[in-house]
Structure 1
């Protein structure tokens, strides 16, 4: 069975955002081109690693001798996007991801695949967002974004990840609004 690919070659918008309160947030990678919007759920850690790796790729490109690409060292002001997520309809929950560089188009490439374990598949069948027209069709998200957009994406993602619960200065664990039982290791 062919894979349904949600492909965005030059998206109008690509961001990570959240729904929910700190401590109970769901992270989404949302991409829009025209009227087509795809939102996939991510783990907080996946979001953080994605931002770090994008910056790492861009920083490496800057250091390449004879680099023909104009890679910004910071986020271009005109590409800053602090708007909330648009209407979220979760396409799938992300399992594996890959990140790359396409020198032919000078774009960072993100590929995201759904969780494939049997329990997640059973849950997806019960999910209201599941597409009954084409059951069990494997799918993936393919996003290509130019270097400026990639730099802005990484910056916003780090800010979204960092906007969660504050960290306890003693034990390093997140503190809840209702209180915190510190688990400082005894010396």
Structure 2
């Protein structure tokens, strides 16, 4: 049986970062009393999680507008730092989202990344493996050692999405010419034939 880090509901559930823009580590963090669980994940995973969670809430809102708020309640704004010390439980791999109509809650499960998933990401040439190959590997997945399970009310889910979007937007600005992130010292812009561009003032 996997170790279950269950929060139903957490007192606090947020995404946050450690480090400077361009070298940030992203964390999902749930807290209940003195118990804190921090799970590392990639920026792209945060982006997808926020988008899918927002889509799920919008879909439920169509049939239950009294249950799901259209926007995050102002009083649930959370701009505070992550809880310290940050001790990584595991690195996130697969995540699942669901709606529990009996309790009117969003259910999020986060599973650790497995060796199979790491191998499946790229082949020996560094190219992404196709989705069918990844799916075939996932069918042989052993049971995970631990799972983060979070159940939150729709209003808290909206607040989570709002903070996640703010955290994502606080990274490096994108170059208006090539779209790549701009480091504080500038970057080599492919659209400018290698000339170094800085963040426009």
Taking structure 2 as the reference length, the TM-score comes to 0.79
Question: Which protein, 1 or 2, shows the higher relative CO under an 8 Å CA cutoff with sep ≥ 6?
Answer: 1
1:112 is the counterpart of 2:110: yes
Following TM superposition, the consecutive aligned residue runs of length 4 or more in structure 1 with deviations greater than 3 angstroms are none
Does 1:79 pair with 2:73? no
Q: Hey, what's the Cα distance between the residues in 2 that align with 1:7 and 1:72?
A: 25
1:172 is aligned to 2:171: no
Corresponding position of 2:67: 70
Shift of 1:69: 4.8
Task: Tell me, yes or no, if structure 1 residue 49 matches structure 2 residue 56.
Answer: no
Distance 2:26 2:65 in 1: 35
Structure 1: runs of 5 or more not aligned:
121-136
Change over 3 Å in CA distance of 1:184–1:92 after alignment to 2: same
The number of equivalent residue pairs is 168
Name the Cα RMSD after superposition.
1.9
Q: Deviations over 1:117-152 (max 9, x none)?
A: 1697xxxxxxxxxxxxxxxx8001000000000000
Q: TM-score w.r.t. structure 1 length?
A: 0.85
Q: 1:103 aligns with which of 90, 101, 104?
A: 101
**Residues 118 and 71 (structure 1 numbering): CA distance in 2 closer, same or farther, change over 3 Å?**
closer
How far apart, CA to CA, are the structure 2 residues paired with 1:97 and 1:17?
17
* Distance across 2 between alignment mates of 1:153 and 1:103: 20
Structure 1 residue 184 displacement after superposition: 1.9
1:159 is aligned to: 166
